[in-house]
Amino acid sequence: MSAAHAGNGDLTQGQHAPPGLASVRHLARHQVMGLAGVFLLGMAVNLLGGRWRRQAVTGAIAIVAAFGAGALTLATKNNWWSYAMAVGFIAALLAYGSLLLPASADHV
């Protein structure tokens, strides 16, 4: 079985993946799934109502920043960009999550 059939499509037969590459790919898949989840959460917030537009825009900006930082992580192999991607993810999660929670001022 060649390396391409083993799930490493970018390696040719006879080449070996660096140690930890599989775990990095595994983590990257989870990060992309997390970003997709936050994106869908933002879409749900936009469908529920537009009066909190400022927070929704903030969440969208955080998603774009996280995506850009992720691309820079892959391009530069610099872990600080990975950290920036995580910060963008958390910021988007907080922005969209706060929109889904009932505000105490709305119920008074």
Domain-embedded: residue 84: yes
Domain-embedded: residue 90: yes
Range of the domain at 70: 34-102
Report, as an integer, the average pLDDT of 8-32. 73
Does residue 106 register a pLDDT over 90?
Answer: no
Domain-embedded: residue 7: no
Q: Summarize pLDDT for 22-66 with one digit per residue, the tens.
A: 888 888 888 888 888 888 877 876 776 676 777 878 888 999 999
Domain-embedded: residue 92: yes
Phi/psi for 60 (5° steps) reads -65, -40
Domain-embedded: residue 6: no
> How many domains in the chain?
1
Contacts of 56 (CB under 8 A, 6+ apart): 42, 45, 46, 50, 95, 96, 99
pLDDT bracket for residue 3 (50, 70, 90): very low
Domain-embedded: residue 5: no
Domain-embedded: residue 3: no
